[in-house]
Amino acid sequence: MDEPEDAELMRRYAAGDARAFERLYARHRGALHRFLVRQTRDPEFAGDLFQETWSKVIAYRDRYESRARFRTFLFHVARNCWLDALRARGRDVTWAAATIELDDAVLADPRARGPESLAAGAAAAERLRLALAELPEPQREAFLLHEDAGLTIDEVANVTGVGAETAKSRVRYALAKLRAALADQRDALPEHGATA
C-alpha cells in the first residue's frame, strides 16, 4: 500500500524534509514523464510541463490533503498544466470536457484508419507508438492514465473531469484502436514476408 506512504512523504516534505520529496519524486517521476511525452508527443514541451507540474506540487505542499492518492493529485496537476499550456498556445481544448464520440468506423475496421501511415513490417512497439500518437487526445489521455499511470477508472474520471462511464469508454476505445493497429501489423507481416 503506497497510498498512505505517499501522503506521509508529502506531509514530511511539507514539514521541511527534502529527502521525503526525493523519495516521492523517484516513485512518480517516470510515469509522469512518460505520460506527458506520449500525450504531447513533444519531448521538449513535455519537459516544460514536467517541471511545471512538480513546481506546483512543491508550491502546494502545505495545502495537500490526502483525500485522494498522491498519484491522482499529481496527474491532475499535470493535466491542468498541459491544458493551460494548450490554451496559451491557442489550441482548442473543448474536447477535454466533452464526451467522446465513438468512432465506429475505426472500431469496425481497423484498417480503415490509414494503415499506410503505419509502416508495414515495423515492430509492434513502433506501430503501437504511432497508433497511440494518432489516438484522439481524450482517449490517449484516458489510456495513459489508466494503463500506464495505474489510475483506476474512477481516478481517471476524477482527473479528467468526466463521469466514470465516459472514462471507461475512452479507455476501451483506445484499446480497441491500438489493437486494430497491431492487427494491421500482423496482417502486414505475411504480406511483407511473401514479397520478400
Partner 1 sequence: MNRRIEPAHEDESRGQYADVRRAYAELGDEPVPPVLDARVLDRARAAVRPARARPRWLVPASLAASVVLAVGVALDVRREAHDERAVESAVVSSEVAAPDAAVGAAADLAVVDANGDVRDADAASAAAAAPGASAAKQRAARERATGNASEARVSVPADLPAAAAPGLPPRPSEPFVAAPPAEAAAPAVAAAPARAAATDGAAVITGEQSARAATAHESAVVQRRATPPVAAATAPALSRSESADAAGTAALATPAPPPPLAPEDWLAKIEALRRAGRTAEADAELARFVRTYPDYLPVVAPR
Summarize as ranges the residues that interact with partner 1 (CB under 8 A).
Answer: 13, 16-18, 21-22, 25, 29-31, 33-34, 37-38, 43, 46-47, 50-51, 54-55, 58-59, 61, 124-125, 128-129, 132, 146-148, 150-154, 168, 171-172, 175-176, 178-179, 182
Residue 121 carries which DSSP code?
Answer: T
Considering beta carbons, is residue 138 or 185 the nearer one to partner 1? 185
C-beta closer to partner 1: residue 44 or 104: 44
Q: How far is the CB of 94 from partner 1 (least distance, A)?
A: 27
Min CB(25)–partner 1 separation in Å: 6
Q: What's the grid cell of residue 97?
A: 470536457
Using the minimum distance from each CB to partner 1, give the nearer residue, 66 or 152: 152
Nearer to partner 1, 92 or 130 (CB): 130
